[in-house]
A and B are shown apart, each in its own frame.
Chain A
Amino acid sequence: MIVQLTVNGEDRHAEVAGWESLLWVLREQLGLTGTKGACEQGECGSCSVILDGEVVCSCLVMAADADGADVTTVEGLGTPEDLHPVQEAFVAEGAVQCGYCTPGLVVAAAHLLETNRRPEPDQIREALSGNLCRCTGYGAVLRAIEAAREAM
């Protein structure tokens, strides 16, 4: 079937097979490879995108079910020339190592700060508890989100 999506503000269409997830369509059909797949089970959060205002694991959303949806991926948050405050803070605070989990973390953190402008450290931790990072031990991630909160 053909699905229609609004992705990062743009109208996009894709011919999808029944087995294709939203993650697959974003990466392989729409060329938005910033969103990563790492567990295929919704456990790691690497594939997080904002779908109609909610953070979801795009590996768990069937592309056919997303017909008509509004999707924001990491590419839609900022560009190298115009970084989102969360992106800027992640670089400055050393919250990026291998970076594979970073797009998912950045999406989840940006969504948190949009819905709660003054999150406490425990609220940040709770909001990011679905995003696994194997490199940083999360310390720099927490510091980056606190810095972004102050900057926004």
Chain B
Amino acid sequence: MSVETRHRIRGGVGESVTRPDGVPKVCGAFQYLDDLRADGMLWAATRRATVARGRIVALDVGTASAMPGVHDVITFADVPGRPYQGQIVPDQPVLCDGEIRHWGEAIAVVAADDPETARLAAEAITVDVEELEPVVDVERALELGDVFRHFPVRRGDPEARGDVVVEGFYEMGTQDQAPLGTEAGLAVPDGHGGVDLWGPSQWTHVDHEQLVACLGLRPEELRVHISGLGGAFGAREDLTLQTHIALLALRTGRPVKQHYDRADSFAAHVKRHAARMWYRHEADRDGRLVKVEARMILDGGAYQMTSQAVIANAATFAVGPYRCPNTFVDAYVVRTNHPPAGAMRGFGTNQACFAAESQMDRLAAELGIDPLELRLRNALEPGDALATTGQVVTEPLPTSEVIRSVAALPLPDDEPGDDPLRLPGGTGLTTPPDRVVRGVGYAVGIKNLAFSEGFDDYAEARVTLTADGAEVHTAAIEVGQGMVTVLIQIARSALGIENVEVVFDDTSKIGSAGSSSASRQTQMAGGAVLRAAEAARSAALALAGGDDLDDLGVWRDGELVMTLAELAERGPISEWVRFRHPETEEPDENGQGRLHVDFSVAAHRAVVDVDPELGLVRVVQIDIAQDVGRVINPVQLRGQIEGGIAQGMGWAIMEELVFRDDGTVANPTFTDYLLPTILDMPPVEAVLVEQPGTWGPFGAKGMAELPTVSVTPAVVAAIRDATGKALRRVPVRPEDIVFGDG
């Protein structure tokens, strides 16, 4: 009988291992997409639409093409394959197809010797446009029937009545992921009619599938590679410049590089959906929810992108992490002439959370019950049915515990005092310190983990033992979140070998790992790595007849019986796994079914100081308690929590992509699209609730989205607490605080 003699591995699961790309990143040596170059490469520049809707009556690239240093100009007519792209429904023209459908839509792309020549040539393209009336209002789009998807939920008795009723209307502006690295890429022709592409991606295999269709290539003629990304947050879920530079490289026979400027970036990548939501909550006198009705309309912008999946999340999390026997939701995502909306951290749950949590606070006020007590009375726990889909929660879900945990954290006792740095508005001419009002607000969020609705969700990984360690091969994408460290830690703990390296394979070398999104890679890529590593360990032990494995080799009864180098010569041992999570199903016509594989919950508390005269807000502290399953890397997990909170707080009080009445974007710059700075960000206390799940590696759950989800309503609740204002719209603007309804 073999005896488990496994030594304690250093740098395994549970430790704050430092990231392997940390040193190159702090030295400026890490290679990002915009650092890539190739001999003889050309630079691309894009000509974009300046109106939200119009018909191109004349498009003349002659002057641009004739400019010295210009090698090629492409328009819609030059797309050799399917001229439309999109990962769910290919409805987005690779380049404008004659009708401009949003501000910033790409019309033509130039390849030239240097970026300045390319830019000037793009400007020299003549585009005559007959302007058309844009659809900029979601209710107008709904009247027109221009709906990407309607997601209905019909559960329980529509005639059910509670003792108290609270109705509310809520609105949220458009948020941009604003990753610091703008889109960049390099396409290199292979000399045989194919191309190698490095582009901004969260999922190279789904990019590959679209690109070969659009470029008219055989699958093996395109290899999509992984390179350094300056953040993602959903912005890289859909294609931007990839099709353009690959096509230019194929046509010119030269490598082609492009690096978007910030205005290009704002124009090209998907946004978080703006939303309008109407809610009606009914409860009994004890505060138990009797019925929730919601109608929500999300602004999908001009093309579908991932809107169909976003609206499913908005609809199925419309009630939040609460029990309710009677739920009726009509959720729509509609087409407008705004830039396309798609994925951003939280993926539809954020909008629902803001409205539902605002309603819970109003219900608590109406009933005279403490807002946290009201939430605890309705908290969704294992064994309960999700209020919308009716699916029973079978995994751990510590809803009550996250609420109690965040409430138990000490509140800050520091008052603003006289230090102007501690006043809302900082050192400007703001209200006197004694007029500053403090408020405290809470909110609870719920998010699905991994893909839903019956999607065949899998991740591949290969673990190969080498002469001095192990390699993990995957196409899962490191966007900055720290997945690379987590995969190393999982592999180390499963193998017993410390010297583990992650190799990011291109699309020709390994199958899909799915997207780095949906809080899924710790469980999905991690799940594949865990199983491949376990298989590699077993194979090594079997081959050498041993009972333990480490960086030296295979051991039996405390004696080294085969070194890793000998194993590699005899083997080689290389184990490939395609890991799937438990199956989900599509909704029935009433939105019912086991749509989601798993859930996670978090509760936030926000403390704010408000200048009620100028409408300025200083966030004093934000605390969170989060259901994480099992902590793999404490420092990285804290980083995800703090970073997620910054984004959700930004949406609450400062971040909005502003549309003019004509559908054009007013603020596509970092001067005018405001992001939280280090002065805006408060201290964060976090409680990590560890109740291991059944299918994630070592019980871990995906966790990177929830910190963003419920912080937005918590900050707004705190401002309401301070001011007594209704604040139905996010982001909360100074005029909402000064002049808004009570």
Contacts and interface: CB of A to CB of B under 8 A. Distances in A.
B642 A100 contact: no
Contacts of B231: 97-98, 100, 134-135
B30 interface: yes
B28 A103 contact: yes
Most central of A34, A86, A126, A129 by chain B CB within 10 Å: A34
6 contacts: A34-B29, A38-B230, A97-B231, A99-B228, A133-B180, A140-B642
Contact of B678 (A17, A77, A79, A131): A131
Contacts of B636: 94
B646 A137 contact: yes
Nearest to B421: A122
Contact of A74 (B18, B27, B181, B643): B27
Contacts of B519: none
A46 B180 contact: yes
B645 interface: yes
Interface stretch (B5-13, B475-483, B549-557, B598-606): B475-483
Given A73-B28, A79-B27, A97-B639, A38 B181 contact: yes
Query: Nearest 6 pairs between A and B by C-beta?
Result: A34-B28, A98-B480, A100-B230, A99-B25, A137-B642, A137-B646
B23 A39 contact: no
A55 to B, nearest CB: 15
Interface in B29-56: 29-32, 34-35
B561 interface: no
B670 A39 contact: yes
Contacts of B34: 33, 36-37
Contacts of A142: 678
B677 interface: yes
Contact of A140 (B32, B639, B676): B639
Interface of A: 17, 19, 32-41, 43-44, 46, 73-75, 77-80, 83, 86-88, 90-94, 96-103, 106, 122, 125-126, 128-142
A135 to B, nearest CB: 5
Interface of B: 16, 18-19, 21-32, 34-35, 116, 177-182, 228-233, 261-262, 421, 479-482, 635-636, 638-639, 641-647, 669-671, 675-679, 681, 683-684
Given A97-B482, A134-B180, A137-B684, A19 B116 contact: yes
Contacts of A38: 180-182, 230, 262, 670
A142 B684 CA distance: 12
A136 B421 contact: no
Interface residues of chain B: helix, strand, loop or mixed (majority): loop
Given A38-B180, A139-B642, 9 more contacts: A38-B181, A41-B670, A43-B671, A44-B180, A91-B18, A98-B179, A100-B230, A103-B26, A134-B233
Given A90-B22, A98-B480, A41 B262 contact: yes
A102 B684 contact: no
B413 to A, nearest CB: 17
Contact of B180 (A41, A87, A132): A132
A94 B16 contact: yes
A59 to B, nearest CB: 10
B678 A102 contact: no
A77 B27 CA distance: 8
Contacts of B28: 32-35, 73-75, 103
Given A128-B678, A129-B678, A80 B27 contact: yes
Contacts of B479: 98
Contacts of A101: 180
A83 B647 contact: no
Contacts of A134: 177-180, 231, 233, 643, 646-647, 675
Contacts of A125: 678-679
A43 B32 CA distance: 21
Contact of B639 (A17, A39, A94): A94
Contact of A41 (B18, B116, B228, B671): B671
A39 B669 contact: yes
Contacts of B684: 137, 139
A136 B642 contact: yes
B116 A17 contact: yes
A92 to B, nearest CB: 6
A137 B681 contact: yes
Contacts of A96: 19, 21-22, 25-26
Contacts of A37: 34
Most central of B177, B231, B684 by chain A CB within 10 Å: B231
B26 A83 contact: yes
B679 A100 contact: no
A90 B262 CA distance: 26
A41 B641 CA distance: 29
A38 B24 CA distance: 19
B168 to A, nearest CB: 30
Contacts of B19: 91, 94, 96
Contacts of B678: 125, 128-129, 131, 133, 138, 141-142
B480 A135 contact: yes
Contacts of B31: 33
B24 A80 contact: yes
A99 to B, nearest CB: 3
Contacts of A19: 116
Given A97-B481, A98-B181, A80 B29 contact: yes
B229 A91 contact: no
A100 to B, nearest CB: 3
A138 B262 contact: no
Nearest to B422: A122
Nearest to A43: B670
Nearest to B669: A41
A5 B233 CA distance: 38
Contacts of B670: 38-39, 41, 43-44, 132
Contact of B23 (A36, A83, A138): A83
Contact of B25 (A17, A102, A131): A102
Contacts of A44: 180, 670
Nearest to B427: A126
Given A36-B230, A97-B481, A136 B639 contact: yes
Given A93-B635, A100-B181, A106-B26, A138 B646 contact: yes
